[in-house]
Amino acid sequence: MPKQTPSQTVGPYFAYGLTPQPYGRPGIADGRIVNETVPGERIIVTGQVIDGAGKPVIDSMIEIWQADAQGRYAHPADGREAVFHGFGRTGTDETGTFRIETVKPGRVTGSDAKPQAPHLNVTVFARGMPNHAYTRIYFSDESAANETDTVLGLVDRDRRGTLIAARQETAGGPVYRFDINLQGDNETVFFDP
């Protein structure tokens, strides 16, 4: 049987290949996951990617995969008709900041048939990361659902906070803050799915 092809870093120069819009080329996705027609609560998720010295990581990329507001994924394994594609990809800027415009996802059934708390699935890529990292973004205003979420339940209580984006109401609508700490006391919880 063939074995898994080893992962390698995206390196410093992935932008013109993976997020080429600033180079005048169409990309497969950007940080705007929804258009005007997609139903659901409009949210912005933003934060910084931070290294082990507390410095912003200006050459990283995150990808988001999410269900629609009804908790449906646009994929044959789901089998229902999701109303949008649900994939986003964006690099971090010169302050290490990313920004995602989307709708808050609905609840998705877990592997144990229990509803999961709403979440965004996240991958993190960067120069200096030989493998991408997996994490999830949960929402601070879903504390009841978060309390019963099976995946959050696998995480030590004192580290769960790293997975929960803090909601702020702004004139432009709800904004969730979610920093990704690659290392340190407050290292974001990364999964091995």
Partner 1 sequence: MKPNTEYTRRDWDSHPPYIVPDYKSTLLRGPKKPLIPIPHSLSELTGPVFGHDKVGPLDHDLTKNGVQNGDPLGERIIVTGRVLDEAGRSVPHTLVELWQANAAGRYVHRWDQHNAPLDPNFFGGGRTVTDAEGRYRFITIKPGAYPWGNHHNAWRPNHIHFSLFGPSFVTRLVTQMYFPGDPLLEYDPIYQGIPEISRSRLISRFSLDVTEPMQALGYEFDIVLRGPRATPVDED
Q: Tell me which residues in 47-76 interact with partner 1 (CB under 8 A).
A: 51-53, 55, 57, 59, 63, 65, 67, 73-76
141 vs 159: CA distance, rounded Å: 18
Residue with Cβ nearer partner 1 (130 or 172): 130
Nearest CA-CA partner of 181 in 146, 142, 138, 133: 133
Nearer to partner 1, 30 or 175 (CB): 30
CA angle 107, 135, 121 (to 5 degrees): 40
Read off the tokens for 39.
Answer: 């139903």
Q: What is the DSSP string of 36-99?
A: TT--S-EEEEEEEEE-TTS-B-TTEEEEEE---TTS--SSTTT-S--SS--EEEEE--TTSEEE
| CB of 26 or CB of 172, closer to partner 1 | 26
Query: Which one of the spans 45-53, 96-104, 140-148, 171-179 is the region binding partner 1 (CB under 8 A)?
Result: 45-53
Residues between 12 and 31 that touch partner 1 (CB under 8 A): 12-18, 20, 23, 25-26, 28-29
**CB of 170 vs partner 1, minimal distance in Å:** 28
Query: Sign of the C-alpha dihedral, residues 161, 48, 104, 166?
Result: positive
Q: Which residues from 69-108 bind partner 1, rule CB under 8 A? A: 73-79, 85-87, 108
Exactly one of 36, 95, 130, 169 binds partner 1 (CB under 8 A); that residue is 130
191 contributes a contact to partner 1 by CB under 8 A: yes
Residue written as token pair 């091995």: 192
Which residue, 63 or 141, has its beta carbon nearer to partner 1?
Answer: 63
Tell the residue number behind the tokens 């960067």, with chain if given. 126
Residue 82 · residue 67 · CB < 8 Å:
yes
Q: How far apart, in whole angstroms, are the C-alpha atoms of residue 106 and residue 89?
A: 20
141-160 positions binding partner 1, by CB under 8 A: 150-151, 154-155, 159
Q: Under the criterion CB under 8 A, does residue 35 sit at the interface with partner 1?
A: no
From the list 84, 98, 125, 176, which residue makes contact with partner 1 (rule: CB under 8 A)? 125
Only one of the segments 7-15, 38-46, 139-147, 169-177 lies at the binding site for partner 1 (rule: CB under 8 A); that segment is 7-15
